[in-house]
A = this chain, B = another copy of it.
Amino acid sequence: MPPIKLKSSPSPKPAKRQHKAAAKAVAQVKEKARPLTRIQREKQDIILEAALDVFSLHGFRGATIDQIAEVAGMSKPNLLYYFPRKEEIHRRLISELLVTWLAPLRDMDENGDPFPEIRSYIRRKLEMARDFPRESRLFANEMLQGAPRIIEMIEVDLKNLVDEKAAVLTAWMDQGRITRTDPYHLIFSIWATTQHYADFDVQVRAVLGPARGGEGRFEDAARYLEQLFLYGLTPRPKG
């Protein structure tokens, strides 16, 4: 597994109603903007890594601080020294995630050729399912629970991005370069098919069996999906 390096979110966004105890290591930032120490950076990374493991597996409610602390190899109070609240850890993970998660769609270029652009989008999403399955599952868990902690981000940032890219797809359709179809549902279907290989990994592997369930499954999936969407989107004379 490659080391996961997600870009950190641009700014910690000032909490409206600061939690009582959220002031320890964080207060400095507010008052003096003291930079993080080496240990703080290291430990926070370790914690986020561990939390990703646990949250992606059990969801927010099902995950416990003790569990995260154990995976992170530190005591619970020590962990709480860095992140005073369970929610804090989760929020950080989710907001970092969204940036990374949407990059491939963001990169779909209006001025490129439709097929290479879409093909590349699918490939990148599939690579993410392969390389960052925990992130995918974290996101899926949040969705299953009704996205209580990120609904605004979904309704604003994500919606805007999708609106924009749907417009690009529509333009390509208007130019007759891809089959006319519903651009929103097209995007949904790309999300669904690619993320499936991360979120339902157990099922995929079990069904494919030992023979075909190895790492090659991602190559097979890529080939299949490419064909599906290629054929599915190729314009054809009506008949």
Q: Could you list which residues of chain A lie within 8 angstroms of chain B, going by C-beta atoms?
A: 56-63, 137, 140-141, 143-147, 151, 154-155, 158-159, 162, 179, 181-182, 184-186, 188-189, 191-193, 195-197, 199-200, 202-204, 206-209, 212, 220-221, 223-225, 227-229, 231-234, 236
Contact = CB atoms under 8 A, between A and B. Distances in A.
Nearest to A187: B207
Given A59-B59, A229-B232, A143 B189 contact: no
A14 to B, nearest CB: 24
A199 B231 contact: no
B207 A162 contact: yes
B196 A192 contact: yes
A197 B184 CA distance: 12
A185 B236 CA distance: 25
A124 B59 CA distance: 29
A212 B196 contact: no
A224 B158 contact: no
The oligomer's copy count stands at 2
B236 A202 contact: no
Contacts of A61: 58-59, 61-63
A202 B147 contact: yes
Nearest to A208: B184
B202 A193 contact: no
A182 B220 contact: yes
A186 to B, nearest CB: 7
A159 B223 contact: no
The 3 A-B pairs at the shortest CB distance, nearest first, are namely A61-B62, A192-B196, A185-B224
A232 B227 contact: yes
Name which of A179, A224, A233 has the most chain B CB atoms within 10 A of its CB.
Answer: A224
A206 B57 contact: no
A168 B42 CA distance: 54
A188 to B, nearest CB: 6
